[in-house]
Amino acid sequence: MTRLWRKGQEVEVMVDGSGTPLAFEWNGRVHHIVSISKHWRVHDGWWRREVWRDYFKLEADSGLLCIIYQGLKGNWYLQRIYD
């Protein structure tokens, strides 16, 4: 089972120089990213409401397996957690 938030839960993320996430804060603790298994990007909908999402599927040192994304305005969201 996975937990999915349609709009995502906003999270604080630390990134490296190239914008790749290193760690994020969620549920009151910092999750350090151990590995990123996938990175993909969506850029669409510009004629109505522009959507830009940089997705990362990752594993954290907490054992959390999840997808986070960065939106058009630079904010980060947690979208999905794999149980």
Partner 1 sequence: MYDYVELHCHTNYSLLDGASHPENLLDQAKALGMDSLAITDHDGLYGVVRFYRAARERGIKPIIGAELTLHRPGPVEGLAEGEGGYHLVLLAKDQTGYSNLCRLISHAQLSHSKGNASLQFEALKKHTEGLFCLSGCRKGEIASHLLAERGKEALEAGERYARVFGKENFWIELQNHLLPEDQRLIAELVDLAQHLGVGYVATNNAHYAERSGHRLQDVLVCIKNRTTLDDSAGLRYANSEYYLKSAEEMAELFADYPEAIANTRAIAEQCSVDLDLTACRLPRVIDITRNLPDFPVPEGETPFRYLCKLCWEGARSKYGTITDAVRRQLDHELRMIDKVGLAGYFLIVWDIVRFAREHGILAQGRGSAANSIVAYVLDITKVDPLRHNLLFERFLSEDAHTMPDIDVDFSASRRDEVIRYVYEKYGEQYTGMVANVVTFRARSAVRDVGKALGFPLPLLDKVAKSLDTCQAESLKDELAGIEDFADKAKYLPWQQLIELCRKIDGFPRHLSIHVGGMIITGSPLIDLVPLERATMPGRVVTQFNKDDIEDLGLIKIDLLGLRALSLIQEALELIKEHGGIEPDLESIPLDDPVVFDMLCRADTIGAFQVESRAQAQTLPKMRPRRFEDIVVEIAIIRPGPIQGNMVHPYLRRRQGLERVEYLHPKLKPILEETLGVVVFQEQVIRIAMAIAGFAPGEADHLRRAMSRHRSEFEMEKLRERFIEGAVGNGVDEQIAKEMFRQLAGFASYGFCKSHAAAFAKTAYDTLYLKAHFPTEFYCALLNNQPMGFYSPEVIVGDARRHGVRVLPVHVNRSHARCILDDGGIRLGFSYVHGLGKAGIARLEEAREDGRFKWLRDFCRRTRLSRKAVENLIMVGAMDYWRRPRRQLLWELGKLRYEEEELDLVFHDDGAKLPGLSKAEKIGIEYSVLGLPVSDQVMALYRPWLKKMGILSSLDLKDRKDKKKVKVAGLVVVRQAPPTAKGHVFITLEDEYGLVNVIVRPDVYERFRHSLRDAPLITVEGILQKQGEVVSVLAQRAVGLTTQW
Residues 48-77 interacting with partner 1 (rule: CB under 8 A): 48, 54-55
Position 46 contacts partner 1 (CB under 8 A): yes
The residue (of 3 and 39) whose beta carbon lies closer to partner 1 is 39
Phi then psi for 5, rounded to 5 degrees?
-110, 120
Q: How many CB atoms lie within 10 A of CB 48?
A: 7
Give the per-residue contact string, 7-36, with partner 1 (x = CB under 8 A; - = no): -----------x------------------
Residues 6+ positions from 17 with CB-CB distance below 8 Å: none
